[in-house]
Structure 1
Amino acid sequence: MPFDHDPVIIAARRTPIGIRGRALARLRVEELAAPAIRAALADAEIATGPLPAVADVQLGNCMGPGGNPGRIAALASGLGAEVPGGTVDRQCGSGLAAVIDAVAAARIDTDSVRVAGGVESASTAPVRSMNGLPYSRAPFAPDGFADPDMVRAAEDLAGRDRISRSRQDRHAGRSHARARAAAEAGRFNDELVPVAGLDRDEAIGGAEPLLLRLPAIFPGGTLTAGTATRFGDGAAALVLARAGSTPGLAVRACATIGCDPAFPGIGAAHAVRTVLRRAGVETADVSAFEIVEAFAAQSLAVLDRLGLADDDRRICADGGALAIGHPWGASGAIALVRLFSRLVRTGSPAGTLGVAAASVGGGMGVAAVLEVVR
């Protein structure tokens, strides 16, 4: 159990995830983040009463316009000029890394309330140039290292691990089926903050018979558009405060690791193994996993390394990024929002454990073990 001075996630909200270029395409990053921040803070005040002043806003972001989106979002959410803000870039692990950083800061500044999360607008990400020529992303690794784009890296991983097309199709279909069932049952309702008229995750669909008809992305390959996540627009915000009588999630252990840049998709597996060891627990002790699904092949490679079954109901039980979408810098924080809904909102008993994790471009992994407190 955490000590009284340990920070606890006491509120967690996210926007719906829009497909790049569609419902949320006109919103800047601060216009996505501010509603989530305001909603999370409002939830926290309902749970605890008036809050102390927010000490900081820390957001993950990896493809935005620069200018410190964390600070811009803090101002846009109405927190006032005296509240600073910062931005973390660990690519697809940025949102989770931002929360981990905020937890570390809150353990020193024990009376503070902090907001952390992530935001990404794939639709408004700027076009960048190098030597006068446009490019879609910055390098993930320097000269002398492998630097595949994430689609190529996932295909290479599928080939190396002999992950078949049919297995990938089943995994993606399962993610969509779980997300559809969760949406129809209203399990996303309490975490969602509608924005720009969108009140649902735009990418959920992908019935397995449709997936079977999609062509491979690479000649002779196994990846398809259906077994790759949809890039998207969205934000998530979590409120951290000192442990008390309010239910929440305490971070019991965290880990950030490096791995071979040629196979970045397996980073989450190494990070999860590390964080479980630090927490002194096994996979069997964990009630809920939220592991960011960038590609079916990548997700399956992680599960294989962790000794977890493809259809384990603990893993992304309401569907993962394959179904709901992947707003890069926000996805790690969305994983934490999902754990909050699955464990805290549903009344799981104190001591119940969850794990959030993400693999990261350039060969990294980020993970955290979280414990329900009441």
Structure 2
Amino acid sequence: MVVAARRTPIGTRGRALASLDVGQLAAPVLRAVRADAEGAVGRRLAVADVVLGNCMGPGGNPARVAALAAGLGVEVPGATVDRQCGSGLAAVLDAATAIHAGDDRPRIAGGVESASTAPARSVDGVRYDRAPFTPAGWPDPDMVRAAQDLASTDGLSRERQDAHAARSHRRALAARDAGRFAAELVPVAGLTADDSVGVAERVLSRLPVLFDDGTLTAGTSTRISDGAAAVAVVPRGLAGSAPGLALRAHAVVGCDPALPGIGAAPAVRAALDSAGADVREVAAFEIVEAFAAQSLAVLGRLGLDDDDPRVCADGGALALGHPWGASGAVSVVRLFGRLVRAGAPAGTLGVAAASVGGGLGVAALFEVVR
């Protein structure tokens, strides 16, 4: 059960959070989550492990580095998970699975990414931006190209994508101005709010397409970002009367690596089927918006409208940014804010999900407990 959830503001690569490495980003979030969780359950928590998603380095087990930097104690280990854009959510599921298997000790789980400080990689002196997602002979498109291919496959127009991105920015701007992000944010490096909310909406229609034969633009593609997010996961018996999110079901699935952006859709379907639930019963969806085309394609496969008010109601990654290894955990933090902090009644359902490079999807179904 998730009883506390925090995140940093999300900063665009090379901007406000550029001086902080993954340990420096994650440590203050871990401290805040532990303090919140102890306040919620009314007792000191002996954290069994810290599990963090991370995609682009620097290696050396960033979860352990962050746990030490956070002052959790030398006895607290750490594990770093790489499911690319689904890493942060996968880390939360790993922590919950350990508890479900019988280890009734609390854990802190989430994700962190510092695109600004990620090390350069090379093979035989030739630099590359990412490792292959598939073996030789398989489709392995760049994620931008993959999103354009998905837009073409699904017939998603430039206008529809622009409208989706604009809606994300409007929702995020309204949420920020109403103070709905305040309780979940841990200020770092002087940054107290997500650094680009609302900016792109004003210029969407003027941006050039990224491919001569395409419809994607920089405005309908999420920004590469820095940030961290984490939650406290505890057994139900330890939570006591603390409100939170109980994990009802989860799923990790594979899909066509040529169209990896659709992965969240079958993962959500699988998680709902496992719980015997339906999309109509879900009050809140947080699905990582890597691209407007990718988000629209997932919504279409789930039978949801482009502007369904349940989906990223306070804006998604198109507005906030996409710190790869953290984004899945940001989705859980946002669900906690939208449902638990906002006072949703017990039994309310929420879904967090992400599509993943290489053709994967990860999803989790949560239920409000009070």
TM-score, with structure 1 as normaliser: 0.97
- Structure 1 contact 177–207 (Cα < 8 Å) conserved: no
- Structure 1 contact 115–240 (Cα < 8 Å) conserved: yes
Matches within 5 A, 1:211-230: 211-230=204-223
Query: Is the deviation greater in 323-332 or in 204-213?
Result: 204-213
Q: Deviations over 1:197-248 (max 9, x none)?
A: 0000012124545100000011131000000001100000100112221100
For residues 51 and 170 of structure 1, the distance between their equivalents in structure 2, rounded to whole angstroms, comes to 47
Query: Is the deviation greater in 306-315 or in 109-118?
Result: 109-118
1:341 pairs with 337, 342, 357, which one? 337
- Structure 1 contact 206–226 (Cα < 8 Å) conserved: no
Cross-structure match for 1:279: 275
SS of the residue corresponding to residue 342 of structure 1 reads helix
* Residue 67, structure 1, aligned to residue 63, structure 2: no
Which residue identity lines up with residue 45 of structure 1 in the other structure?
E
For residues 141 and 76 of structure 1, the distance between their equivalents in structure 2, rounded to whole angstroms, comes to 35
For residues 18 and 319 of structure 1, the distance between their equivalents in structure 2, rounded to whole angstroms, comes to 15
Query: Is the deviation greater in 128-137 or in 173-182?
Result: 128-137
Query: Is the deviation greater in 237-246 or in 29-38?
Result: 237-246
Matches within 5 A, 1:159-198: 159-198=152-191
Report how far residue 111 of structure 1 moved: 2.9
1:137 pairs with 130, 134, 157, which one? 130
Structure 2, gaps ≥5 residues long: none
Which residue identity lines up with residue 248 of structure 2 in the other structure?
R
For residues 363 and 196 of structure 1, the distance between their equivalents in structure 2, rounded to whole angstroms, comes to 35
- Structure 1 contact 203–230 (Cα < 8 Å) conserved: no
Cross-structure match for 1:328: 324
Structure 1, gaps ≥5 residues long: 1-7
Cross-structure match for 2:349: 353
- Structure 2 contact 81–87 (Cα < 8 Å) conserved: yes
Cross-structure match for 1:76: 69
- Structure 1 contact 170–208 (Cα < 8 Å) conserved: no
* Residue 91, structure 1, aligned to residue 69, structure 2: no
Cross-structure match for 1:39: 32
Report how far residue 109 of structure 1 moved: 3.8
Report how far residue 144 of structure 1 moved: 1.1
For residues 234 and 14 of structure 1, the distance between their equivalents in structure 2, rounded to whole angstroms, comes to 8
- Structure 1 contact 289–314 (Cα < 8 Å) conserved: yes
For residues 37 and 209 of structure 1, the distance between their equivalents in structure 2, rounded to whole angstroms, comes to 36
SS of the residue corresponding to residue 87 of structure 1 reads strand
- Coordinate RMSD, CA, aligned: 0.8
Segments of 4+ moved more than 4 angstroms: none
- Structure 1 contact 228–322 (Cα < 8 Å) conserved: yes
1:55 pairs with 48, 67, 72, which one? 48
1:255 pairs with 248, 251, 257, which one? 251
For residues 45 and 204 of structure 2, the distance between their equivalents in structure 1, rounded to whole angstroms, comes to 50
For residues 68 and 107 of structure 2, the distance between their equivalents in structure 1, rounded to whole angstroms, comes to 14
- Structure 1 contact 88–98 (Cα < 8 Å) conserved: yes
Q: Deviations over 1:125-154 (max 9, x none)?
A: 110001220001111111010000100000
Which residue identity lines up with residue 253 of structure 1 in the other structure?
A
Report how far residue 303 of structure 1 moved: 0.3
* Residue 299, structure 1, aligned to residue 292, structure 2: no
Q: Deviations over 1:246-272 (max 9, x none)?
A: 100011000000001100000001101
For residues 371 and 64 of structure 1, the distance between their equivalents in structure 2, rounded to whole angstroms, comes to 33
